[in-house]
Amino acid sequence: MTLLKQTIDQIGPLVDQSAAAARRRQDTLTKPAGSLGRLEELSIRIAGITGRERPRLTNPAVIVMAADHGVARQGVSAFPAEVTPQMVLNFLRGGAAINVLARHVGARVIVVDIGVAADLPSHPELVSRKLAYGTADFSQEPAMSRELAQQAIEVGIACANEAIDSGADLLATGEMGIANTTAASAVVAAITGRPASEVTGRGTGIDDTGLARKITVIEQALALHQPNPRDGIDVLAKVGGLEIGGLAGVILGAAARRVPIVIDGFIAGSAALIAATLAPAAIPYMIAGHRSVERGHAAVFSHLDLQPLLDLNMRLGEGTGAVLAMSICQAACKVLDEMATFAEAGVSEKHSE
C-alpha cells in the first residue's frame, strides 16, 4: 500500500463526542451563550478534530514548501526565478516575514526544498527533499509526471508526520516559488470549473499586460492538457507545482493524525483543493487562515465551504496569514480550557426579576 493510500484511509470523521462535550462546556462558561462568536465554534471544531474535550495547542509549526516553476519562463511573474533560492536562504537566516510572524506566535518554521531549481547549500534547518529542479513549462507540456505528482504529495505527508512525531500539535501551510500563483490559478480553475480570468490575479504585482499574458497562458494550458477535475493527482501533474503537491500532502498527513491544519493563502488553497479531491474527509480538518487579496481565493472558499478567520489584505504567501491565524486557534482553545464555569466562579447563570 502506498503512503498516500494509507494516509487517506486513516482520515476519519471528527469525533462527535469530543465536540459535543466542548459545546456543553462552552455553554457553562461565565459569559452569555454564544457571545464569543466564531471563537466558540472554532474551539468546538478543534475538539472534534483532536478528539479532546479541552484541546491545548502548545507546539505550532509551519511547513514552508519551496519549488520552482517552468512556466515562469512565460513572463507571468514580476520577479525572476532566481528569487526562489534567495528567499529560501532568507528563511533559513530568519529574515523573512514568515520568520518574524512565526516568532511572534511561537511557531517553528520548517523549510523544505521539494523542487528548487538550484543546488542549495546544506543547512541544519533545511529539509532537503528535492524531487526535481522545478517543474516543466506547463504551457508546453505537463508540469510533471503522474508519478512525480504522487511523490510530491507523499513528501508532504512525510514532512507532516515528522513534525507531528517531534511534538507539533498545530500545523500551518507555507510556500515559496516564483510563478506559483500561475500554477495555483490553473489548479483552481481546473477543479472549480471557474474561468481562468475569474481566478487569476496579479501575484507578485504584474501590470495589466502581464496579467493578460498570465490568463492566456493558463487558458491555453487547460485547453492543451484537459486535467480531470475529479482527480487531484492529474490536475497537479498537468498544471500544478511540486510545492503545491507537497502542501496537499501536509494537509492529508495532518488530517490523518487528527492535527488541525491552518491553510494559508491562495497557493495553499489550491493545495487544499487537490487534497479535497483525494480525500473529501480531510475538509473538516482544514482551518482557513485568512482571505488573500488574490481574486481566486474566494473560489477556493466557496468550493470547500470554508470561512477564513482573518482578512488583512495580505498576499505574500510563505504561511504568513496562517501563522497569525494560529494564534486565533490557540486563543479559542484557551478560552474553552481556562475560562471558569458559572459553578466554578460562583456566578449565577440567570437572574429572575
What DSSP designation does 265 have? S
Q: Which ranges of 226-306 would DSSP assign to H, the alpha helix?
A: 232-239, 242-256, 266-278, 297-304
Which residues pair with residue 65 across a beta bridge? 112, 175
- The residue type of 191 is I
Q: Identify the CA nearest to 17 among candidates 49, 39, 42.
A: 49
Helix (H) / strand (E) element for 174: namely: strand 170-176
| Cell output for 171 | 500545523
The neighbour count for residue 108, using CB atoms within 10 Å, is 16
CB under 8 A, 24+ apart: contacts of 128-133: 129/155, 129/158, 129/159, 129/246, 131/155, 131/242, 132/242, 133/68
Q: Identify the CA nearest to 312 among candidates 321, 322, 299.
A: 321
Contact 174/180 with Cβ under 8 angstroms? Answer: no
* Catalytic-residue membership of 294: no
Contact 278/33 with Cβ under 8 angstroms? Answer: no
Q: Residue 112 phi/psi, 5° resolution?
A: -120, 120
What dihedral angle (degrees, nearest 10) is formed by the CA atoms of 119, 245, 270, 144? Answer: 80
> Which of the residues 318, 338, 344, 349 is marked catalytic?
318
- The residue type of 240 is G
Give catalytic residue positions. 318
